[in-house]
Amino acid sequence: MDNPTRAWAPRPGLVGVGWVLTVISACALTGIVLSGDRPGSLLLGVITIAFAALSLHGTVVRPRLAADPSGIRLRTLGGTRVLRWSEVVVRLATTKRYGRDAWTVEIESGDRLTVLGWVELGADPHDVHDELVRLRQTPHSTG
């Protein structure tokens, strides 16, 4: 395998749905504002901003996580953090939510903890964790 780099990001379809919901709520907001319903305008305005912010994040921060035998790259709105494998601890964690287990990949580096779920990864956290462990164990060439 020449290029063992792997990358994960929110699924494009999910981000697209977010943008569609942003447009729909913005159109609805226009109608509510024109009707004079101030509480409704406020509520729908907050919803529209939330849809837009989440969709923008899913669009701009791609890929959210990338990894190769040398380490990982975590992309945020503030930039990309490049970390060597020796600088990170990668765990698969679970929490109970609504009576169901919710799995996440936790990446700890120094005093920072990044928690990534299936929405941010666009994949099952189990599979991502397994791939990260495999990449960490792959010898990398410095050539």
User: Distance between CA 37 and CA 29 in Å, rounded?
Assistant: 10
- Answer CATH for 64-137 from 2.30.29, 3.30.70, 2.60.40, 1.10.287: 2.30.29
Residue-wise pLDDT tens digits, 97-140: 888 889 999 999 988 999 999 999 999 999 999 999 999 988 76
Amino acid letter, residue 142 = T
Residue-wise pLDDT for 47-84, tens only, equals 999 999 999 999 999 999 999 999 999 998 889 999 99
Bridge partners of 73, per DSSP, are 66, 82
Q: CA distances (Å), 72 to each of 3, 6, 18, 45, 86, in order?
A: 14, 9, 27, 37, 10
**Backbone phi and psi for residue 62, each to the nearest 5 degrees, phi listed first:** -130, 135
Residue 12: CB atoms within 10 A of its CB come to: 12
What's the whole-model pTM score?
0.79
To which residue do tokens 């609504």 refer?
98
